[in-house]
Chain A
Amino acid sequence: AAGVIQSPRHLIKEKRETATLKCYPIPRHDTVYWYQQGPGQDPQFLISFYEKMQSDKGSIPDRFSAQQFSDYHSELNMSSLELGDSALYFCASSLRQGLDTQYFGPGTRLTVL
């Protein structure tokens, strides 16, 4: 079965650079979620989109922005990167009707030097 696809899987950036992470949800899933997971921590919710509209917002820094496109894929844009942004970034998708059942992608490991 098709799963959530994230790209790139690994990304290395310098401080103050920008990064764009991409997420392709499971086909027919209309809701996308972004999470940040620091070393040894649980995933922290950043932001979600339902039908291309922002649906909920968590602890997402103002330096980050995200959107969902007409084909339901989503991009997380990160600017003025800081060392503390180094983390695993997960995307998850779900069907609106299955709100509780989120399927996670493999993650993008971002390292900021």
Chain B
Amino acid sequence: TQLLEQSPQFLSIQEGENLTVYCNSSSVFSSLQWYRQEPGEGPVLLVTVVTGGEVKKLKRLTFQFGDARKDSSLHITAAQPGDTGLYLCARNTGGFKTIFGAGTRLFVKA
């Protein structure tokens, strides 16, 4: 059972379009991480959100943590082919392990 639900699972868009991907859970998070992974490479940490309602920006990427700390979203403005990859949300379970969502596979066409 996935503790983190990500949607959509797959997204194919044209360069320049905007998009939002979501990460949801029935549990409250103390914090949540977003990673980006390219094929054959390790996940690269993009951001950690901690406070309910928090918004963080990373260039064209905007991350939001829900007020109740049960959900998060990643919005990409004016997507570029270089944004192509697998976007994973993840949370630490309170111990020494991290649980990942199934990911959103994004493909941006030039």
Taking beta carbons and an 8 Å cutoff, which residues of A are in contact with B? 4, 31, 33, 41-45, 48, 50, 55-56, 58, 88, 90, 92, 99-107, 109
Contact = CB atoms under 8 A, between A and B. Distances in A.
B98 A105 contact: no
Interface of B: 30-31, 33, 35, 40-45, 48, 88, 92, 95-103
Contacts, number: 58
Contact of A104 (B30, B44, B48, B99): B44
A45 to B, nearest CB: 4
Contacts of A90: 42-43
Nearest to B41: A106
A44 B88 CA distance: 12
B40 A102 contact: no
